[in-house]
Amino acid sequence: MGYYITVEPGINVYVEDLNPAGHRTILLIHGWPGNHNLFEYQLEQLPKMGYRCVAMDCRGFGLSDKPWSGYDYNRLSDDIRCVVDALKLQNFTLGGHSTGGAICVRYMARHNGYGVSKLALFAAAAPSLIQRPYFPYGLNREAVINIIQGVYTDRPKTLRDFGSMIFHNYVSEPLSDWIFYLGLQAAGWSTAAIANTWLDEEGLFNDLKTIKVPTLILHGINDQVCLFPLAIAQNNSIKNSKLVPFESCGHFLFYDQRERFNEELIKFIEV
């Protein structure tokens, strides 16, 4: 079922809640610039196996409201808390892809992991998507600035260019087109605002160290967006974490290696 949940006065986010009677719950947070539909091949499989799957569109994306502001990790993690409270989620697995993974990390620190029994990070943009003087990994700052400028001048081309970076293995042209159109469903200002957050956000380095729950880190060796050293940094910072490298795999690992992705995630939830 689909719901709209109020996260601020006059601002609502869209949430899909599949198989509410499921024996275990996972809450999925998508990456930039998509929406909950990116998890289609999890949302159609896991409920059949008895899991409750909750997937939200972050503000500014998909079917959620698109306010002018509120795109920093603090506010986005507060939106997750609103969903958790509204649906009364307890003892659930929190899973996030790319920027969604970074938001999940902030949720764990800012809300003390409220309700979360396990954390799963998929090609997460943490601790930093960009290179910094003390963190020589990630994308060049100039590359992100170019993305922001491209969003303001030719957003469709910018999203097409981004789409050329996300896969390592072959996907059909229709599938690539579909993911492109999911990105176009976002507002231009929210798309740019999230990219700006990549530049300014440095708190995830400390946030990672606060995570106490069992954590699964799935990351493609060939990821061109969130480079593999980010996964190593996550694994080194989170005490109770397990890193599973995906060889021959890019940023969208739930498409590049869909079956293995689902297997690893299910195995982790069941342990």
Measured between its terminal Cα atoms, the distance across the chain in Å is 28
Residues 193-249: pLDDT tens digits? 999 999 999 999 999 999 999 999 999 999 999 999 999 999 999 999 999 999 999
- Burial class (CB within 10 angstroms; exposed 0-12, middle 13-18, buried 19+) of 210: middle
pLDDT at position 139 is 93
Question: Active-site residue numbers?
Answer: 98, 223, 251
pLDDT at position 153 is 97
pLDDT at residue 123 is higher than 90: yes
Residues 128-185: pLDDT tens digits? 999 999 999 999 999 999 999 999 999 999 999 999 999 999 899 999 999 999 999 9
Residue 205's region, left for phi above 0, alpha for psi from -120 to 50, else beta, is alpha
Going from the C-alpha of 72 to that of each of 32, 81, 125, 128, the distances in angstroms are 13, 15, 14, 14
Q: Whose structure tokens read 């949940």?
A: 5
How many angstroms separate the CA atoms of 203 and 135, rounded? Answer: 13
* Domain range 2-270, CATH architecture: 3-Layer(aba) Sandwich (3.40)
pLDDT at residue 191 is higher than 80: yes
pLDDT band at residue 1 using 50, 70 and 90 as cut-offs: confident
Going from the C-alpha of 82 to that of each of 13, 48, 86, 89, 143, the distances in angstroms are 10, 27, 6, 10, 33
> Could you give the count of Cα atoms lying within 13 Å of 236 in the half-sphere of its Cβ?
9
Claim: this prediction has a pTM higher than 0.95:
yes
> Could you give the count of Cα atoms lying within 13 Å of 86 in the half-sphere of its Cβ?
20
Structural domain spans, the chain:
2-270
pLDDT at position 224 is 96
3-state SS assignment for residue 2: strand
80 within 8 A of 29, measured Cβ to Cβ: yes
23 within 8 A of 49, measured Cβ to Cβ: no
> Smallest Cα–Cα separation from 183: which of 1, 78, 38, 43?
38
Residues 5-47: pLDDT tens digits? 999 999 999 999 999 999 899 999 999 999 999 999 999 999 9
Where b means 16+ CB within 10 Å and e means fewer, 218-245 reads bbbebbebbbbebbebbbebbeebebbe
Residues 98-109: pLDDT tens digits? 999 999 999 999
How many angstroms separate the CA atoms of 84 and 236, rounded? Answer: 28
Contacts (Cβ under 8 Å, ≥6 apart) of 40: none
Going from the C-alpha of 143 to that of each of 128, 147, 158, 170, the distances in angstroms are 14, 6, 12, 25
